[in-house]
Chains A and B, each alone.
Chain A
Amino acid sequence: MKHLGKALAIGMFVMAANAHADIRFGIVNEAYPPYTTKDASGKAIGWEIDLMDAVCEELKEKCTIVDVAWDGLIPALESKKIDVIWSSMSITDERKKRIDFTEKYYSALAGMIGPKDGAMGVTAKELKDKTVGIAVSTTQSAYFKKHFADVASEKSYATVDESFQDLASGRIDYVFADTGPLKEFLKTDLGEECCEYKGNVEPDDAILGAGVGGGVRKGDDALREKLNAAIKAVRASGKYAEFSKKYFDYDPY
């Protein structure tokens, strides 16, 4: 009888484990190198994918990637099409009203690039009467509204990639975005030829957020805790530094 109970308990445990479906990671389907992008065969690659693989290995869970448009990420999470937003989403107060975040897994510094013949520095003085390209509804857009809106004008792009083209052809004077994609662009032929890094903006944690974290549904504390532990473990084991080296010459944490 004792054994039967044990067997039943094990059986139920196995069933419960099987019933636990894959963790679905929502990743933005627009290219956002070096964090997420697609190779020629359509497979997702990038720093955030490497981090996801490491985290899932740590969790011993099977993870699947779901492609979602940037503006569809939070709705997809809420309607349970995905379980985690894993797509360079900064942890901001505005977003916290709708979803919960894990601890940060990297820090996004905001900066600007501009043409080589322009002045260095990114304060209100240099930006006076200039046009700044910003991806729509990013933390940078909110930052711009608060700090630069009265001296410079904003041009909205659906993705940051499109603004690079316009910067190179002189239609805008600056692109304001996270340093990661900006530096990635400066490595390309087009970027190298036209533009240079002008500097980071003054920090404003209330708007720019306290780093980038994974987004989970409100109240999904079990998953959030698990992810937090896994991120911590990946960071502690040195794996984080190892795959980061492939993409950055600095520690992105």
Chain B
Amino acid sequence: MDFSWIFPYRDLILQGAFLTCLLLVISVTCGFGLAIFLAIAQVGKNPVARWLAKGYCTFFRGTPLLIQLWLIYYGLGTYLPYIPGLRTSFLWPILREGLFFAALALTLNFAAYQGEILRGAMLAVPKGELEAARAVGMSPAMILRRIWLPRAIRIGLPTFAGEVVLQLKATPIVFSVTVMDLYGAAYKIRQDTLLVYEPLLLVTLFYVGLTFLITQAFQKLENAVPTRR
């Protein structure tokens, strides 16, 4: 076992760990926001919105994440430069980076899974609670805001924790679109130093550690929200 490479490569490793965390935070927060709309659309009465949301979830849950990422990065990303003026605009420094497309693909994918979970959770909220809310004169929007969504999120919380962990473990594929995340850093170190196992061991420890932190955080969150069973 040779770990002498850690010091010379510390910047690369730390930067990679930062990017991994950044991608996780962006995709989970934005994805969850999008998922709320997807869930509401699916349990709502508007048929167009319902079918659009259903189609979206089916598409993103039914195709491999790697293919989605490559479709977005090499497909969409390749045609963007042909939009006149885009290459000289202030957006171009962002749009030429793989990070933007990686975050986009991870977000869209996470939203699809989360939207489906949240839909199930919304349907699992006891009817009596919603009827009670209606009976005291709450408007539909208020019921959604105060009763339906908060209860659904609480019901879905344990599943949500699992999804975040899965999302963390999905992030290494971003290396395939030039984002030097933690796995990318390990890959580069492996190639530079010709060491096979040691860099993988380091990132394994990191992923396990982060998973532990995520599950602990959700455990705290679950305990903090009072429930009556």
Report A's interface with B, CB cutoff 8 A: 70-71, 74-75, 94-95, 98, 131, 133, 136-137, 141-142, 155-158, 162, 165-166, 168-172
Contacts and interface: CB of A to CB of B under 8 A. Distances in A.
B207 interface: no
Interface stretch (B26-34, B183-191, B211-219): B183-191
Nearest to A163: B178
24 contacts: A70-B191, A71-B187, A71-B190, A71-B191, A94-B194, A95-B194, A98-B194, A137-B188, A142-B192, A156-B184, A156-B188, A157-B178, A158-B175, A158-B187, A162-B176, A162-B178, A165-B74, A166-B178, A168-B78, A169-B77, A169-B80, A169-B81, A170-B87, A171-B77
A171 B79 CA distance: 11
Contacts of B74: 165
B35 interface: no
A247 B192 CA distance: 30
A88 B98 CA distance: 28
A52 to B, nearest CB: 24
A98 B81 CA distance: 44
Contacts of B176: 158, 162
Interface in B41-71: none
A9 to B, nearest CB: 44
A95 B192 CA distance: 10
B57 to A, nearest CB: 30
> On chain B, which size bracket covers the interface?
20 to 34
Contacts of A95: 194
A135 B95 CA distance: 21
Contacts, number: 48
Contacts of B175: 158
Contacts of A133: 178
A75 B196 contact: yes
B194 to A, nearest CB: 5
A142 B193 CA distance: 12
Contacts of B77: 169, 171
Contacts of A98: 194
Nearest to A165: B74
A189 B98 CA distance: 24
A75 B200 CA distance: 15
Interface string B92-119: 0000111000000000000000000000
B13 interface: no
Contacts of A74: 194
Contacts of B192: 137, 141-142
Contacts of B190: 71
A207 to B, nearest CB: 13
A170 B81 contact: yes
Nearest to A72: B196
A76 to B, nearest CB: 10
B180 interface: yes
A169 B87 CA distance: 10
